[in-house]
Chains A and B, each alone.
Chain A
Amino acid sequence: MEIYFPEEIIMDILIRLPVQSLLRFKCASKFWKTLISDPSSKAKHNNHAKKNKRILIAQQVPGAGKSFYFYSLSSLSAQPLQKLCFPSTHKPQRYVILCCCDGLCLLWSCSGAGHLLWNPSTNESVEFPDHEYPDATCSTYGLAFDSINDDYKILKIDNKGSLTSPNKIFALKSGCWRNIDNHPRGLVNGMRGDNSLAFVRGAFHWISKDNLSRHFMISLNISNEVYGEISLPEGICSRWICLKRGISVLQGMLCAYCTHESPRGGCTFKLWVMKDYGVKESWTELFGIGDPNLYFVVPKYWFADGEVLLYFSIYQNQELHQGFRTSDRPYEWSVVYPGYVVYPGYLQGFVYTESLISPNYLFRISLCLIKLPSCGFKMCC
């Protein structure tokens, strides 16, 4: 029997295939090549693939360089799935991950080459310089899709707490960094690149403080660039010295976390979740972890079984150990680095959904719209 498949059925199957299979099946015929390369297919695939999460790991082993991997995302253990190819014209050891969204990953080069927008699943990338602010470790980044303007946007906020450094937005279709007004009383403090800006309900969220050192949460809507304020949970601003506090999104809900010194020595990590967006009374403490050697913790993912994946750093025997664990039990692997690591880049992990979305395609749109000689894009495959 000759089987005839309508295009909609082919599409229903195609969106369920991993990116690697789709890249291979482009070779099946002209029709398949066109179908898989089509931006609307890529968007449909992306929407479906959001259920299928993994962790993108950047791991630097002293003397052996840096490699990027996909690891499985499970509350029981992390298994390496794939060692990733890196764009051939770039050296992976020079790059740190800043943020991820829809299969796209924003990297920053510590050798001054600027930013690289990379799709690790297809290994397509595009680089763009950022001459003005060469040090990404002083900034926190977020990458998100602005569904109203149908564009991906990068937000960069400065962490030095200086009012002279404006927040900046890079809309991929415009192809340039643009300054935006800072929050009228927001002074950002102490955030570092081991987590990206939390994005939920069309807005980025982060912790800021006013000039009386009172902490609060700022939101910035990426479509209309309007700021908002959300109260933090009681207890996040304790009188003990705070090593790290921040905002994440877990299961679509805002979470606030902090690691502070505890009165009995050592450090304590606490995590709160805001069950109803914007409702202060809905802040609920999820759990706390006390550990004499704890340095800091960043929550990364909330599994269906209730476990939370945590990126942690502990300081033991003058060595900094970085790795992942869940709220209940240690993960199977962690990485040990000698000495004190002052900025991220040795072990990083971001929850990632693979996609076919092409950074080149996004930039081609911007290049067709306007020509900006100062922006000097360079595309690589």
Chain B
Amino acid sequence: MVKLKSNDDKEFEVEEAAVIQSEMIKNMIEDGCATSVIPLPNIDSKTLIKVIEYLNKHINMGKAAETGEEDDLKEFDEQFVNMGWEELFDVIMAANYLNIHELMELCCQSAADRLKNKSVRAVREMLKITNDLTEEEEQEIINDAPWAFEGPEIDDTVN
């Protein structure tokens, strides 16, 4: 078992087989740097619980294909990304820090799916972007590709 510690000082025990899906922790174990508790100063306990849930479910990814559990895993992934926008971003940041490739793929795809039909205003709000373009510059971008700004699918809500 490997012990992980979140930035709010909570400790979690995870099976080594699960935790080595994180390239960062795998390297630490291989280098002999994971003898006691691994502190994760960038990850809070709420996010770490989600990440561990994912790691435990995906522990035997290779076996899933053999035993026909792929559908089960797919369903889990769909349910897993069904979380709030800020929570999703916390998981992305954690997956990036821990270097968990599959989790990064899953969450970035979910983020892209949520963003793709958003209006410019909604995207600015969701990604905390401050608009520093002048009205003329904005109009120029719109004039270059007016069809990208039209259509019933464009969604102005933030969620």
Question: Residues of A with Cβ closer than 8 Å to B?
Answer: 1-6, 8-10, 12-14, 16-18, 20-21, 23-33, 85, 122-123, 381
Interchain CA distance A20-B145 in the complex, whole Å = 9
Closest 10 A-B residue pairs measured CB to CB? A16-B112, A23-B148, A23-B145, A24-B148, A27-B120, A21-B116, A12-B108, A20-B148, A13-B111, A29-B129
Across-interface contacts of A23 in B (CB, < 8 A) = 141, 144-145, 148
B86 at the binding interface (Cβ < 8 Å): yes
B44: min CB distance to chain A, Å: 10
B2 at the binding interface (Cβ < 8 Å): no
**How many A-B Cβ pairs are below 8 Å?**
85
Across-interface contacts of A30 in B (CB, < 8 A) = 132-133, 137
Across-interface contacts of A10 in B (CB, < 8 A) = 127
B124 at the binding interface (Cβ < 8 Å): yes
A33 contacts which of B104, B133, B145 (Cβ < 8 Å)?
A: B133
Across-interface contacts of B129 in A (CB, < 8 A) = 28-29, 31-32
A13 contacts which of B86, B108, B120, B138 (Cβ < 8 Å)?
A: B108
B115 and A21 form a contact (CB under 8 A): yes
B19 at the binding interface (Cβ < 8 Å): no
A30: min CB distance to chain B, Å: 5
B84: min CB distance to chain A, Å: 11
B59 at the binding interface (Cβ < 8 Å): no
Interchain CA distance A20-B148 in the complex, whole Å = 5
Using a CB-CB cutoff of 8 Å, which residues 101-145 of chain B contact chain A? 104, 108-109, 111-112, 115-120, 123-124, 127-133, 137-138, 141-142, 144-145
Number of B interface residues in the complex (CB < 8 A): 35
25 A-B contacts (beta carbon < 8 Å): A5-B127, A6-B96, A9-B96, A13-B108, A13-B112, A16-B112, A17-B115, A21-B115, A21-B116, A21-B118, A23-B148, A25-B115, A25-B120, A27-B133, A27-B142, A28-B120, A28-B123, A28-B131, A29-B130, A29-B131, A29-B132, A33-B133, A33-B141, A123-B145, A381-B144
- Known pairs A21-B118, A27-B149 / 15 extra A-B pairs, C-beta < 8 Å: A3-B127, A4-B128, A9-B93, A12-B96, A12-B104, A13-B112, A16-B108, A17-B115, A21-B148, A23-B141, A24-B154, A28-B127, A29-B132, A30-B132, A85-B147
B112 and A17 form a contact (CB under 8 A): yes
B109 and A16 form a contact (CB under 8 A): yes
Across-interface contacts of B89 in A (CB, < 8 A) = 3, 5
Across-interface contacts of A4 in B (CB, < 8 A) = 128
Using a CB-CB cutoff of 8 Å, which residues 2-60 of chain B contact chain A? none
B98 at the binding interface (Cβ < 8 Å): no
Interchain CA distance A122-B131 in the complex, whole Å = 23
B92 at the binding interface (Cβ < 8 Å): yes
Closest to B118 in A: A21
Interchain CA distance A228-B113 in the complex, whole Å = 45
Of A5, A18, A26, A33, the most chain B CB neighbours within 10 A belong to A26
Across-interface contacts of B116 in A (CB, < 8 A) = 17-18, 21
Closest to A25 in B: B123
A2 contacts which of B108, B119, B128, B142 (Cβ < 8 Å)?
A: B128
Of B127, B130, B148, B149, the most chain A CB neighbours within 10 A belong to B148
